Structure 1
Amino acid sequence: MGDKNGKIQLILRFSKGTRGCFIIILLASLASTLLNSLIPRIFGFTIDRVLVEDGIPYLKEHIWLISLEVIGIALVNGIMIYLYRSQTAKAGETFAKNMRDILFAHVQRLPMKWHDGVQTGDIIQRCTADVETIRNFVVTQVLEVFRTVFLLVVSLAMMLTMNMKLTVVALAFTPVVVLYSGIFYHLIAKNYTAADEAEGDLSTVVQENATGVRVVRAFGRERFEIDQFDEKNEIFARLWIRLGTLSGLYWAVGDLITGLQVLVIVTLGAIEAVHGSITAGEFIAFASYNTTLVWPVRSLGRILSEMSKTGVSFDRVNYILDSAEEEMGEGGVIPEHTEIAFDHVSFGYEENQSVLEDVSFHIKEGTTCGILGGTGSGKTTIVHLLDRLYELEKGTVQIGGVDIRDIPRSWIRSHVGMVLQEPFLFSRTIRDNIAAANPDATMNEIREAARIACVDDAIMAFPDGYDTIVGERGVTLSGGQRQRVAIARMLIAKAPIMIFDDSLSAVDADTDVRIRRALRSKMKEATVILISHRITTLMEANQILVLNHGVIEECGTHQQLIRHGGIYQKIYEIQLNQDDRRLLSEGGDSDAE
């Protein structure tokens, strides 16, 4: 898709619904060009055949008829220009809308591994600024090519009928304009690529700073962030200044060439008129057509320059569209049960950096499996593989005895509910965020899910209740409230497999207990995976896995692991001592009071 044919195919794909507009634009442009070409001829005819001493008597006495003719042409031309502009606006916005829709839909279906390797700001840049560059070129510059061709053909035809020698001289400057435009085409393309990428880097800094503003303020990183932005901004500004310099040089050379061309034609035309080879009216008309000829040729050079920028934008957009989508698929095998089995699974996000190493375990349907492990031990990776966010490298993962590679992703995503440690909430109402997993849910169902997640009371305490706007990334809510809203969102989907990835870390111990009790009463038939650093959260699970550097070190029930005396038992004692100290501290405070 990166070649010329691929770009043409993309243009045709993006122009769906606009082809009628383009036909009207081309016809209106042709009509306007023909009408404009009549004006110099009318002026030349008036000078040579009406205003001279032996001019046509009737027209001399009714000169207003010529004025009326010019006015009539201007009125019709105005209608053509209106059609041209209005249809250009309609075609341009429709073209850009189609492109944005296609890009956004494609990004939604790209695998997580792709997103891991691309900056968010760069994606935004490709889907906005690059789209606008392509839209501007296709709708403005490409149409300008057709208009330029019309002007060239009509102007040359008129000029040839008046004086062939002057026409040949006028055309002699065209190869020079095309040659220097080609040179600038390559220079601008190279610099525009660097400038566009620099703008993507700048957008990323702004986006990350805006979304992480609390971290920036909490750690006093304002100066660091300002310096980082200033560095990226300096690079961005320097590259665009260079582009502006090249553009200025391009237009300066172009003005010099076109000025020389006009000067030569006016001088030679005056000489021809003095010698009687051309009439005064024809000389004025020829000069007018020459001016009309100069700017189309000049605009072809500008179009080459814009084409270089558009080629870069096309490549950047193609980078997204050429990336393979996840195959959601409706075909495949649908499991009848929800038991989960990992068999000798090894995985790493990068080559030669293993996160999981020969991991095997089995979770019976309707049971709860707890996973304990330090940071980077592979807990979340197990969840990612189960949800097919990443493809397996070695081993197999099964749901209901079926290899997940044979199960449609659409089924997995709708039957595996997940709550992450740092849940993402949309900048919408709390009601919309909970109902995101089930848009058809009633208000009663939404509130029931919120009650189970122990967040209903907190929501009702807001002035607008469930209609409260949570703000960007849920900043209106506390960390614990965000986690509980995310739990409610997952519960309302009624998924038979539920995953809690350290999703109770931001709530206090008492709320943790209340949520787990409510969950047990409502999801007796669900297969549950609990990931947590708190042993109190995991101790009632049917089995507990202890991960250490991507390897399962221990597996068993809470009592079995305590008796085993390994990592689990040591962590349990540490956390138990911490809880004892906390209780003693709270008791001491109480006595003091």
Structure 2
Amino acid sequence: MSELKSIYRWLEGQRLKVLGALVATACGIIFSTLIPLVNQTAIDMVIKQTTEGEQTIISKIVLSVSTFQGQLLMCGFLIILFTIINALFNFLKARWSAEASEDLAKSLKDKMYNHIQQLSFMYHKRAETGDLIQRCTSDIDTIRLFLSSQLVEMGYSILIFVIIFTFMLTLNVKFALVSVCVTPILFTFCFIFFKKVKNSFQEADESEARMSTMIQENLTGVRVVRAYCNQEFEIEQFEKRNSDYRAKSYVMTKLNALFWSSSDFLSLFQIAITVIYGAYLSINGEITLGTLQAFISYESMIIWPVRQLGRILTDLGKTTISAKRINEVLSEPIEFEEGLQKPDIKGTIEFNHVGFEYEDHDRILKDITFKVKCGQTIAIIGRTGSGKTTLMNLLMRLYDYTDGSIKIDGVELKHIDKKWLRRHIGAVLQELFLYSKTIKQNIAIAKKDAVDEEIHSVAQLASVHHVIEEFQEGYDTIVGERGVTLSGGQKQRVGIARALINECPILIFDDSLSAVDTETDIVIRKALKERSKDVTTFIIAHRVSTVKDADQILVLDKGRIIQQGTHDELIHQGGLYQTFWEIQNEKEAEVLSLVNQGSEV
């Protein structure tokens, strides 16, 4: 019921159209049920010329014509009239239900996309992309299809049973009860089938989501698959997921086959009972031939919609599962809060005994304490997995610290509005993402109204302007999905240009110079230093040559700051930083030696 309530809530603004479709359905049914009464009148009162029994409005209209031919023509005219009116109401039913379902699908997709955009980074880290895509597309489409046809069809099945059964009772109560004796069994069978197919659909839907996730991951990571010649392994894994989806879908197919064959038998058995018992009553003179014909027509009209109820309930089961999966996303809390501060951010930052752990209590950072003055450059270096990126994620509030305090210009970080904070931080993240757009559009994402001069200026600072100019389309070059047409260094430099375009008071470079050569690294850092004298800059790097000019260097190991100071101070202290320095100098010396030997040869 909670899922159905959700669908009703999502229908806000469209409920009048759904109600109109149901009213049109009821009106169409009423006019279609009048046609057998016209046939009854034609047989009993026109052809057989009997006036026994109570006359109806239809019989009075027909008998108001004096001639035999005129009465038959009047019957034909009434049948055509009722058919046209029924068709008109069916058109209105289809139109209003289609409009309501399409509008709901659009609004629900907008709602889902908007909500997903505001979910926390932590949620996206644990969620599967393929599964989210399916919830935003296939699951919403399941709801749309149900509302466009099955909801009205459900109303049609219920209304046609109630209306026609009422008409049948007015003709002959005993015959009416016999004519629907199998219907309760068919209803019960439909609901049993509904419960079974609901569970089966959930398993199939989740299996399809896992398959979609695998397809998405393989298309995204196509370079890795090709690089390691992993095609056969991936094909084998996909075949397993596909086979699992097929097996679960096949269970649904078998359930459908069982239902349709059984319901066909019950429906035809009910019609047989009606015909046999009606013939018996007609022979004994308890009902007229016209009444028998009307009952047989009504039975055909009533039994097949009731049988269709099983298919409708199947779709209802799918719809409730889809609504549940959508609700699971919409019930996730968004990360943005109202009423937080929007202070003037200049760049003075203070970490005081900061700690952080994930939801599974995996402690990542412990007792982090340091202070940064406005305009300083802070370098962070350490082994892989020491917590460098996580530290910067705390500063951007992609995660919220669990212990201690972080202040920016004297204001507690948790009291600052997240959107406001992130507008004042330019970040080149470790996992750089470029959209399948032009280079110009990718750079200007952070500033939609940026003019060409601004874009060219930041591209020059990132030492990528001359590279872009060499492309045939220049800044209008399409970079392809995830920037696939650019090299690693080119992508990182485009990312740096994107971070610089807003002139933020805080800049973060998360290992963003690792893919460029040492000469380009020096050029970029020199350009940044000249341009960003009043900007607080954080540089995460593995190369000591990249960080040695920083005002302050933090050395992280196992989530703790184990060393802190300038380059000159740290290389004389001993410890991890000195080890990094010696190893990298030794490597550079080996490379230079090999180069010299090669030139002598």
TM-score in terms of structure 2 length: 0.94
Aligned position for 1:16: 12
Aligned position for 2:518: 509
Give the 3-state SS of the residue equivalent to 2:375 in structure 1: coil
**8 A Cα contact 2:350 2:372, kept in partner:** yes
Matched, 1:160 2:166: no
Amino acid corresponding to residue 435 of structure 1 in structure 2: A
**Correspondence 1:214-229 to 2 at 5 A:** 214-229=223-238
Q: Distance in 1 between matches of 2:214 and 2:345?
A: 47
Identify the match of residue 3 of structure 2 among 7, 17, 30.
7
CA deviation string 1:355-375 (max 9, x = no partner): 112111111111000001111
Give the 3-state SS of the residue equivalent to 1:529 in structure 2: strand
Q: Distance in 2 between matches of 1:462 and 1:14?
A: 49
Classify 1:352/1:62 alpha carbon distance in 2 versus 1 (closer, same or farther; 3 Å). Answer: closer
Aligned position for 2:203: 194
**8 A Cα contact 1:50 1:60, kept in partner:** no
Aligned position for 1:325: 334
**8 A Cα contact 2:345 2:505, kept in partner:** no
Classify 1:13/1:386 alpha carbon distance in 2 versus 1 (closer, same or farther; 3 Å). Answer: same
Matched, 1:522 2:518: no
Deviation at residue 336 of structure 1 after TM alignment: 4.5
Aligned position for 2:296: 287
Deviation at residue 293 of structure 1 after TM alignment: 1.5
Aligned position for 1:52: 48
Amino acid corresponding to residue 104 of structure 2 in structure 1: F
Give the 3-state SS of the residue equivalent to 2:572 in structure 1: helix
Matched, 1:304 2:300: no
**8 A Cα contact 1:330 1:410, kept in partner:** no
Aligned position for 1:457: 466
**Correspondence 1:452-491 to 2 at 5 A:** 452-491=461-500
**8 A Cα contact 1:430 1:466, kept in partner:** yes
**Correspondence 1:338-349 to 2 at 5 A:** 338-349=347-358
Q: How many residues align?
A: 588
Q: Distance in 1 between matches of 2:504 and 2:283?
A: 93
After the TM superposition, list the runs of 4 or more consecutive aligned residues in structure 1 that deviate by more than 4 angstroms.
53-57
Q: Distance in 2 between matches of 1:170 and 1:438?
A: 72
CA deviation string 1:341-361 (max 9, x = no partner): 111122222534221121111
Give the 3-state SS of the residue equivalent to 2:180 in structure 1: helix
Amino acid corresponding to residue 34 of structure 2 in structure 1: L
Q: Distance in 1 between matches of 2:413 and 2:198?
A: 46
Q: Distance in 2 between matches of 1:209 and 1:96?
A: 29
Give the 3-state SS of the residue equivalent to 1:168 in structure 2: helix
Deviation at residue 8 of structure 1 after TM alignment: 4.6
Give the 3-state SS of the residue equivalent to 1:191 in structure 2: helix
Aligned position for 1:95: 104
Matched, 1:76 2:72: no
**Correspondence 1:124-139 to 2 at 5 A:** 124-139=133-148
CA deviation string 1:88-147 (max 9, x = no partner): 222211111111111111111111222222211111122222212222223322222322
Aligned position for 2:57: none
**8 A Cα contact 2:98 2:149, kept in partner:** no
Aligned position for 1:249: 258
Deviation at residue 583 of structure 1 after TM alignment: 2.7
Aligned position for 2:588: 579
Q: Percent identity?
A: 40
Amino acid corresponding to residue 141 of structure 1 in structure 2: Q
Aligned position for 2:421: 412
Amino acid corresponding to residue 374 of structure 1 in structure 2: R
Deviation at residue 484 of structure 1 after TM alignment: 0.9
**8 A Cα contact 2:6 2:323, kept in partner:** no
Aligned position for 1:43: 39
Amino acid corresponding to residue 365 of structure 2 in structure 1: L
Q: Structure 1 stretches of 5 or more lacking a match?
A: none
Q: Distance in 1 between matches of 2:412 and 2:332?
A: 25
Aligned position for 1:27: 23
Classify 1:16/1:426 alpha carbon distance in 2 versus 1 (closer, same or farther; 3 Å). Answer: farther
Q: Structure 2 stretches of 5 or more lacking a match?
A: 52-62
Classify 1:177/1:54 alpha carbon distance in 2 versus 1 (closer, same or farther; 3 Å). Answer: closer
Amino acid corresponding to residue 51 of structure 1 in structure 2: I
Pick which of 294-303 and 149-158 moved more: 294-303
CA deviation string 1:216-270 (max 9, x = no partner): 0001111111111111111111001011111211122111111111110111111
Deviation at residue 425 of structure 1 after TM alignment: 0.9
**8 A Cα contact 2:180 2:270, kept in partner:** no
Q: Distance in 2 between matches of 1:92 and 1:62?
A: 45
Deviation at residue 66 of structure 1 after TM alignment: 3.0
Matched, 1:262 2:271: yes
**8 A Cα contact 1:159 1:286, kept in partner:** yes
Matched, 1:382 2:391: yes
**8 A Cα contact 2:225 2:231, kept in partner:** yes
Q: Distance in 2 between matches of 1:83 and 1:473?
A: 47
Give the 3-state SS of the residue equivalent to 1:355 in structure 2: strand
Q: Distance in 1 between matches of 2:50 and 2:154?
A: 43
Give the RMSD, CA atoms, in angstroms. 1.9
Deviation at residue 65 of structure 1 after TM alignment: 3.7
